[in-house]
Structure 1
Amino acid sequence: MPPTSPSSPNPSRRRFLLGTTAALGAGAAGTLGLPGTASAAPRLATGTLYIASDSTAQTYNSSFYPQAGWGQMLPGFFTSNITVANRAIGGRSSRSFIEQGRLAAIHQVIKAGDYLFVQFGHNDATVGNAERYTSPADYKEYLRNDYIRATRSRGATPVVVTPVSRRSYNASTGQFNVSFPAYVDAAKAVAAEERAPLVDLSALSRTYLNGVGIEPSKKLFLWLSPGQYPNFPNGVSDDTHFQQNGATQMARLVAQAVSKLGLPLSGEVKPAAL
């Protein structure tokens, strides 16, 4: 049979998980802090920050060194009151992360006072891959219903993170492009509509990369020479994934943005990250 052409998930496969009005009201109290509205929020006693995302945030073991994801490096920017549970895994989109039961596994253990950071878009945009592809319209509704509302119904706080930038640039201007703009716009729109905290990592990472420059940015991404690292004996030229230093800088940007959200979590960002 010919391969299935990519399309939006049909209605029988959609799993938008709607919380009750009461549950949403109870969970929304901690989600009104929006970017640029920092306030003196009380610090947490303890809490867990879950990450639902893809390979750009994933934790890699030593056999992949120096490759790293921003979620892997995030714990270093929070106090010991915060446990980071990085559930990011490569090759997943907002839809496949749900269909494979990975979001449900988080929702089984997440509790009141916890946080769910959600960053997708890289794999959602792969039109040629039916398993991953998710239209921007469906991506928006998955974020709204499965990641935001269903997380709030459990008393936890969802934080929408726009997709981190790739090493994609305009050679004429020397400026970095917006990666996956339709998904960036959808994420920002649904965060505003649901009054969910937003970390605009797309804009933050692009500004940072513009400051670094096109050629030096190779030292942030997985650009390695043959023989430079044992795990990549043939070298690699990868404009999507990060070396440890790049992942650390992206994690720093996330932490700095969190410090301005006015959430209880904001007070747990280490001063050294600011």
Structure 2
Amino acid sequence: MNFKPILLITALSNLLFDVSAQQKVDYKFDFGPGRVAKNYIQILPETTFSKNMKYGFDFDTKVEGINRGGKNLLTADLVRNNQPFYFSAAVPEGNYKITVTLGDSKAAAVTTVKAESRRLMLEDIKTKAGEFVTKTFIVNIKNRNISDGKVVGLKPRELTKLDWDNKLTLEFDHQTALAGLEITKVEDQITVFLAGNSTVVNQENEPWASWGQMITRFFKPGIAIANHAESGLTLGSFQGSRRLDKILNIAKPGDYLFIEFGHNDQKEKGENDGAYKSYTERLKNFVSEFRKIGGIPVIVTSTSRRSFGTDGKTQNTLGDFPDAARKVAAAENVALIDLNVMTAKLYDALGEEQSKKALVHYAANSYPGQDKPLADNTHFNPYGAYEIAKCVILGIKTSRLGIAKYIISDFPNFDPSKPDDPMSWKWPESPNSSLIKPDGN
């Protein structure tokens, strides 16, 4: 058999993939029914994303188009809605600088923006009537492809996640007035990769959430967060599903890898399993492999479960795993963020009853089809995930990591022993909810 044609086809296919991956993307969208700003693409309320239209409003969400008039063509017209709406654009894998122009010349507005699977990007951006603001943030887009035909082994639930599709999706919440949007592929960002389980992953549906989808809120451009975590995973299954291979394939020198495992690892009961055996060996392997490509690993201890002892304080339910992570960090001279300690302080500060408001504890009928209460002491709701993301940011600052200079300038001094009041913290819920508990416990 002559293999030359097959090899040629394979080489061409790989070349096309590489070209696609490095493809320049630069979209400029002008929203509304008025005259179009120069070099912008007009987006009308009826512009709908589809196989033939590679950008537009998505998931049957509706907006109102308004033409206010004025000399500035970009802000003279806009789209509005007091309900969540989605806008998508087909883009290849990479990091994207997103610039939104928000405001309305005749009315006040307030906007929260989430990307992909509910990653918080902008929070409560308020504009007065006649006021316009421009905000920029970075969104990472990933796909399953690795190299040599290998792909990430996704779980069935991941196949429909926005994080793994072939487009960039933005969700606009509150009372959004959107005038302009720019999407530009950029190569100059430091990428922070997240490896972890259900306490880290971007949870797709309300009321579940994790710190990995909230931490994006606290970085300015210069940092891209690439969340490769997934519910139910251990260090071993993360590696076995080729997620570490994927990260090593696309990471560049100077990028970071945050590693948080333990909840599921402690359930492994093989002869060589345990905190000071397979867990320690695998953690060291993650560190060494990422260092080989010039990356900077960071070890994060597992979040505490909400479990109070007779003394009214949070008790350790993770055995030796947090201690093992600390020992690996010390032995390998790796930065450590002790999230286990900080989350215990957070729960203790809230107290046994109030701490339920940081996790998925909801009375029956809080969500469609929910005829029974939800009571989960491992998985966070948006408030809890937001507070824990602040703990991670505190750990970055305390460890004096290089990426600390990219933390937003208005990040408040945070103390896990003095968390935000859960009764005053507000979150605009996304349209989709699920009663299915994430894998892992």
User: Which band: TM-score by shorter chain?
Assistant: 0.7 to 0.9
Whole-angstrom distance in 2 between the partners of 1:232 and 1:181: 33
Q: Is the 8 A contact 1:65 1:231 kept in 2?
A: no
Q: CA deviation at 1:134?
A: 4.0
Could you report, residue by residue, the CA deviation over 1:14-67 in whole angstroms, capped at 9, with x for unpaired residues?
A: xxxxxxxxxxxxxxxxxxxxxxxxxxxxxxx73111100000111112xx2021
Whole-angstrom distance in 1 between the partners of 2:244 and 2:367: 34
Whole-angstrom distance in 2 between the partners of 1:187 and 1:196: 10
In structure 2, what is the equivalent of residue 55 of structure 1?
A: 198
What's the C-alpha RMSD, in Å, of the aligned pairs? 1.6
Alignment of 1:139 onto 2:282? no
Q: CA deviation at 1:208?
A: 1.2
| Counterpart residue identity of residue 99, structure 1 | G
Whole-angstrom distance in 2 between the partners of 1:134 and 1:253: 29
In structure 2, what is the equivalent of residue 87 of structure 1?
A: 228
Q: CA deviation at 1:141?
A: 1.0
Q: CA deviation at 1:233?
A: 4.9
Counterpart of 1:238 in 2: which secondary structure?
strand
- Larger strand percent: 2
| Counterpart residue identity of residue 283, structure 2 | L
Q: Is the 8 A contact 1:93 1:134 kept in 2?
A: no
Change (3 A) 1:272 1:232: farther
| Counterpart residue identity of residue 54, structure 1 | N
Gaps of 5+ in 1: 1-44
TM-score by length of 1: 0.78
Whole-angstrom distance in 2 between the partners of 1:82 and 1:242: 25
Whole-angstrom distance in 2 between the partners of 1:221 and 1:256: 21
Asked which structure has the greater RCO (Cα within 8 Å, sep 6+), the reply is 1
In structure 2, what is the equivalent of residue 237 of structure 1?
A: 375
- Please identify, of 177-186 and 47-56, the stretch whose mean Cα deviation from structure 2 is larger: 177-186
- Larger helix percent: 1
**Aligned counterpart for 1:159 among listed residues 298, 303, 309:** 298
Could you report, residue by residue, the CA deviation over 1:167-194 in whole angstroms, capped at 9, with x for unpaired residues?
A: 1110x20000123131101100000000
Could you report, residue by residue, the CA deviation over 1:68-110 in whole angstroms, capped at 9, with x for unpaired residues?
A: 0111111011112111111110010011111111111111111
Change (3 A) 1:76 1:218: same
Whole-angstrom distance in 1 between the partners of 2:356 and 2:290: 37
| Counterpart residue identity of residue 69, structure 1 | S
In structure 2, what is the equivalent of residue 149 of structure 1?
A: 288
* Percent of pairs with identical residues: 33
| Counterpart residue identity of residue 274, structure 2 | S
Alignment of 1:122 onto 2:260? no
Gaps of 5+ in 2: 1-187, 414-441
Q: Is the 8 A contact 1:49 1:83 kept in 2?
A: yes
Change (3 A) 1:232 1:249: farther
In structure 2, what is the equivalent of residue 10 of structure 1?
A: none
Change (3 A) 1:231 1:159: farther
**Aligned counterpart for 1:249 among listed residues 374, 387, 392:** 387
Residues 214-225 of structure 1 mapped to structure 2, 5 A cutoff: 214-225=352-363
Determine which structure has more spread, i.e. the larger CA radius of gyration. Answer: 2
TM-score by length of 2: 0.49
Whole-angstrom distance in 2 between the partners of 1:183 and 1:173: 23
Q: CA deviation at 1:218?
A: 0.5
Q: Is the 8 A contact 1:258 1:269 kept in 2?
A: no
Whole-angstrom distance in 2 between the partners of 1:83 and 1:234: 39
Whole-angstrom distance in 2 between the partners of 1:254 and 1:213: 21
Q: Is the 8 A contact 1:221 1:241 kept in 2?
A: yes
Counterpart of 1:214 in 2: which secondary structure?
coil
Whole-angstrom distance in 2 between the partners of 1:169 and 1:247: 19
Whole-angstrom distance in 2 between the partners of 1:127 and 1:68: 25
Whole-angstrom distance in 2 between the partners of 1:200 and 1:179: 15
Could you report, residue by residue, the CA deviation over 1:101-144 in whole angstroms, capped at 9, with x for unpaired residues?
A: 1111111111111100000000001146x7xx942121011111
Residues 23-102 of structure 1 mapped to structure 2, 5 A cutoff: 46-61=189-204, 64-102=205-243
Whole-angstrom distance in 2 between the partners of 1:231 and 1:80: 40
Whole-angstrom distance in 2 between the partners of 1:243 and 1:192: 32
Whole-angstrom distance in 2 between the partners of 1:254 and 1:231: 34
